Structure 1
Amino acid sequence: MAKTTKSGTSSKPAAETTDSEARSDRGERTPWANLKSEITELYEGRSRAATRFRYGLLAFDVLLIVFFLLTVPLQDPPWLIALDVVIAIPLILDFLARFWIARKKSSYLLQVTTIADVLIIVSLLLPLFFDNLAFLRVIRTLRLLRSYHVMRDLRSDLPFVKRNEELLHSLVNLVVFVFSVTALVFVLEAGANPQIASYLDALYFTVATLTTTGFGDITLQDRNGRLLSVVIMVVGVALFLRLVQTVFRPNKVRHTCPDCGLKVHDPDAVHCKHCGRVLNIETEGHR
C-alpha cells in the first residue's frame, strides 16, 4: 500500500515506476535513438566499419555514374525500367537516412546535391507511369555532382588526393560539364539532327566544340543548337584553361588559417604567408 504524505497525496512505490522512467533514470535510450546513433556513426564516424561503409557508398556512386552515362542512348526498354526501380530503392533509403541524421534538416534539403538526388529518384520512377521522357536521361547525369562528395571523402583518407586537390577539382569540373552537356546534346538532337545518330556523335561534337577545333562535320543547325554551341565554347574553354593552369601551378594544400582565414598554403608551410600564424598542416611525415 502506498504511503500517504502530510499533504494528503500518496507517493508511488518503487515497484510502480514506469519502464520509461526507469530507462530515463539509468540513462538508457530508446531503440530508435540507438538506431539513429548507429546510422550517424556509419555516415560520420571514423571507425573501421564506418570507413568501409563510406567506401562502399563511394563505389556505389562511381558505378551508378558509369551506369547512367552508359544508358543515356537507350530508349527505356522494359528491363531498364525494372532496373531503374531497383536502383531507386537504395537511393531512397540513403536520402531518408541522411535526412534523419541531419542536424539542420532545412539546410540539408536546400543543398544542391540533395535536390539533385531527389530529381534523380523521380527520374528513375516516372517511366513507370509515363512514356518517352527522354529528358530524364539528362537529369540522371546530375549524379555526377556526387563526384565532389567522392573527392571530399577521399581527401581525408588519401594523401595523393589532398596534395592534388586543386588539379582533381578542376578535372572533375571539366568531366561533369562534358558528360552533362553530351547527354543534353544527344537528347535534344538525336532524331532531329541526322548528324547526331549516337551518343558517341554527341560526345565527339561536345569535345570538338569545347576545344574550339570545330571540324565542321557535325553541326547543330537550329537556333537552340547554335546557342548551346556558344555555351559549350565559352564555359568549356574556361574550364579547360582552369585545368591547364592547375597542372602547371605548384602544388598547394587546403588548410584554413585560424587567424586570417587564408585557405591555400604550400604543402610544407610552417607559418601562414599572410599573417604569420603558426600552422599545423597534417603531413605524411616525409617528403
Structure 2
Amino acid sequence: MNSLRSTIKSLYDGQNTRSRRFRYGLILFDSLTIIYFIATAALPSTPVITAVNAFFGLFILFDLAARLWISTNLRKELTRIYTLADLVVVISLVLAPLMAESFAFLRVLRGLRLIHAYHLLHDLRRESAFFRKHEDAILAAVNLLVFIFVITSLVFVLTFEEDAGVAGYVDALYFTVATLTTTGFGDITMTTTGGKLLSVFIMVVGVALFVQLARTIFQPSKIKHTCPECGLNRHETDAVHCKHCGTTLKIETKGDTGG
C-alpha cells in the first residue's frame, strides 16, 4: 500500500517525464470537463449525457481521492476551494438521477468545476515558462471568466424555466455581461428584490474584476527581475531592494524623459 501511495505521489509531484506527462493529461482533462459542463449546463438529460456525466464524475472522484490520500496536510487539502468545488460537482452528479425535479439546479452546480481552473493554474505555474511570465494577466482573466459563468449559472437557475434550454442559458449569459459592464440595455431585467440585489452584486464585483484585468494587462503590478542573492524573480515596479532578502536590485527602467 505504501508503494502504491509513493507511486501516485510521484505522478502528482514528481519531476520525471512520466509524471510531467501525467500532469499534462490532468490539465487536458480539467480543461475538457470545464468546457463540457459549460456547454451542457442548459441541455436536457439524455442517456448519452448521463453516461458521460457518470464517466467524468468517477474520474473526478478518483482524482480527488488520490489527492486527499497523498496529501501531507489533509485538513488544508479539504479546505482548498477547488477541492470543495470538486466535492459539490461529484455530489451533484451522484444525486441528479435520484432527484429529477431538482436536476436543473444540480446540473448548473457543475459550473463550479470552473473553480478547478485555479488548480489548473497551479499546475501550469510549475510546468509552463509562458504562464509564469504572464501569470498576473492570465489569473485576472480566469477570475473574470469564473465569475461570469458561475453567475450566469446562478441567473439561469433563478430566472429561467427549467426547459428554457440553450436559448435561456445564452440569455442568462447576455444579462450577466450586460449588467457586469453596466451597459443596461433593459431588454432583460430582474423584477424581484432578490434579482435586483443579484444585479447590484454583479455590477459591483464585476466592475472590480474588469478593472483588475485591465490594470494587470496595461500596468503590471509586478516586474520580472531575478534577485542575484535569493533568486526571487517578481518585484514591485519601483523596488530598490529585494523584499525577501534585502539585496539591492538594479532593475532596468526606461527612466523619466522629463517634460
TM over 0.5: yes
Aligned pairs (5 A) from 1:131-150: 131-133=100-102, 134-150=104-120
Q: Residues 120 and 139 of structure 1 are in contact (CA less than 8 Å); yes or no, is this contact kept in structure 2?
A: yes
**Alpha-carbon distance in 1 for matches of 2:85, 2:226:** 29
Structure 2 residue aligned with 1:123:
92
1:59 lines up with 2:17 in the alignment: no
Match of 1:45 among 1, 4, 14: 14
Matched-pair contact (CA < 8 Å) for 1:164–1:252: no
Match of 1:276 in 2: 246
- Distance verdict in 2 for CA 1:203–1:276, change over 3 Å: same
CA RMSD of aligned residues (A): 2.8
Do structure 1's residue 180 and structure 2's residue 150 form an aligned pair?
yes
Q: Please list the CA deviations of residues 174-208 of structure 1 after superposition, one character each: whole Å capped at 9, or x if unmatched.
A: 0000011011111111129x9x9521111111111
Residues 80-102 of structure 1 deviation map (CA, whole Å, 9 limit, x = unaligned): 22321121111111111111111
Alignment of 1:79-90 (within 5 A): 79-90=48-59
Equivalent residue in structure 2 for 1:215, among 179, 185, 188: 185
Task: Answer with 150-159 or 269-278: which moved more.
Answer: 269-278
List structure 1 segments (4+ residues) > 6 angstroms apart after TM superposition. Answer: 254-257
CA distance in 2, matches of 1:266, 1:162: 16
Greater relative CO (CA pairs within 8 A, separation 6+): 2
Residue-by-residue CA offset, 1:208-239 (whole Å, 9 max, x unaligned):
10000011111111221111111100100010
Structure 1 unmatched ranges of 5 or more: 1-31, 280-287
Bigger shift: 88-97 or 72-81? Answer: 72-81
Q: Is the 8 A contact 2:96 2:107 kept in 1?
A: no
Q: Distance between the aligned counterparts of 1:274 and 1:37, measured in 2?
A: 33
Aligned length, in residue pairs: 243
Structure 1 counterpart SS, 2:101: coil
- Aligned twin of 1:158: 128
Amino acid in the other structure paired with 1:217: D
Kindly name which structure, 1 or 2, has the bigger radius of gyration based on alpha carbons: 1
Alignment partners' CA distance in 2, 1:90 and 1:125: 13
What's the % identity of the aligned pairs? 48
Given the two structures, how large is their TM-score scaled by the length of structure 2?
A: 0.85
Deviations 1:69-114 (A, max 9, x none): 0111113233322321121111111111111111122222222221
Q: Which residue is equivalent to 1:10?
A: none
User: Any gaps of 5 or more consecutive residues in structure 2?
Assistant: 250-259
Structure 2 residue aligned with 1:34:
3
SS of residue in 2 equivalent to 1:198: helix
2:42 counterpart of 1:73: yes
